């Protein structure tokens, strides 16, 4: 699929970050795009951004959808079929993701299940919903966003990262299994797994909103949990009062987005180039390539502190 003009693409988690940039770049090439996000304001901003740069007669539709809820996913699919007057799609980017649920021991089960549900079940439900429509096309591509945490379940010493990592491992394995399934049963449809390293997105900021933990609404008890977690990560937060800690948390999320070595726009370009080149494994960032090489070379030591220091 070298040309996206007049194709129809589905992009989940399109409110910010890589999802927004995928939608923008596709729209700029004349690709019809149906986006979804759980945060409506972000989604509308993306739709407006797409409409500003899309050629005439390019159709952009926006749909509020929590991809962890299969009923909402099916409603999203049905709305796409109706609003785009189609019985097929060409591209599905399962991009929606959220952080949280780091620990099985400390964090709440509700947060753990919510994180896993969005990051894994969202990919599964959207694949179930849209794969028949890809098969109905003359050429199709499904692109599932995993992470370097899909082959390395760690953020560093002292940072539990279970829900997100488990989900991203599932996404990677599922997509790799789809390669054979599609070659046997629908060879005109391709699949790819995206494995980003540190990309400049708003995931740290949006995750709090999705989990109902807006910084300004955090209770003293929640702030104390955050203080302990940040202290374990080496941040000097012990002497900050609650308001100062809120500002520190907000600043950290903004710095994560703004100081990354790879921007969301650059990541989206790499993904779309990967689709054009029929790649099935798309690593993004020098850190992703280096980490992939080191984990493969030395899996037994991958979770030792010395590995992280290297």
Annotated catalytic residues are 164
The angle subtended at Cα 122 by Cα 143 and Cα 267, nearest 5°, is: 40
CA distance 28 to 56: 10
């Amino acid at each position: 699929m070298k040309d996206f003009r007049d194709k129809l693409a589905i992009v989940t988690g399109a409110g910010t970050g890589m999802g927004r940039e995928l939608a923008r770049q596709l729209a700029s090439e004349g690709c019809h795009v149906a986006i979804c996000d759980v945060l409506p304001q972000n989604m509308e901003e993306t739709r407006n951004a797409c409409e500003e740069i899309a050629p005439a007669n390019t159709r952009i539709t926006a749909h509020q959808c929590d991809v962890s809820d299969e009923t909402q996913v099916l409603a999203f699919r049905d709305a796409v079929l109706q609003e785009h007057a189609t019985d097929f799609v060409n591209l599905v980017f399962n991009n929606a993701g959220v952080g949280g649920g780091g620990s099985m021991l400390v964090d709440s089960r509700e947060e753990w299940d919510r994180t896993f549900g969005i990051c894994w079940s969202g990919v599964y439900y959207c694949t179930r919903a849209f794969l028949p429509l890809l098969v109905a096309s003359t050429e199709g591509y499904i692109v599932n966003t995993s992470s370097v945490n899909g082959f390395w379940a760690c953020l560093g010493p002292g940072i539990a990262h279970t829900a997100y990592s488990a989900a991203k491992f599932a996404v990677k394995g599922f997509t790799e299994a789809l390669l054979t399934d599609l070659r046997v049963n629908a060879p005109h449809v391709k699949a790819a797994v995206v494995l980003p390293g540190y990309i400049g997105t708003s995931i740290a900021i949006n995750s709090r909103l999705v989990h109902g933990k807006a910084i300004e609404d955090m209770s003293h008890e929640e702030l104390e949990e955050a203080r302990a977690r940040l202290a374990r990560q080496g941040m000097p937060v012990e002497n900050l009062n609650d308001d100062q800690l809120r500002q520190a948390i907000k600043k950290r999320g903004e710095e994560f987005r703004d100081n990354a070595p790879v921007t969301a726009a650059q990541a989206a370009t790499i993904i779309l180039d990967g689709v054009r080149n029929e790649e099935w494994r798309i690593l993004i960032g020098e850190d992703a390539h280096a980490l992939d090489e080191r984990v493969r070379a030395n899996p037994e030591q991958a979770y030792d502190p010395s590995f992280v220091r290297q």
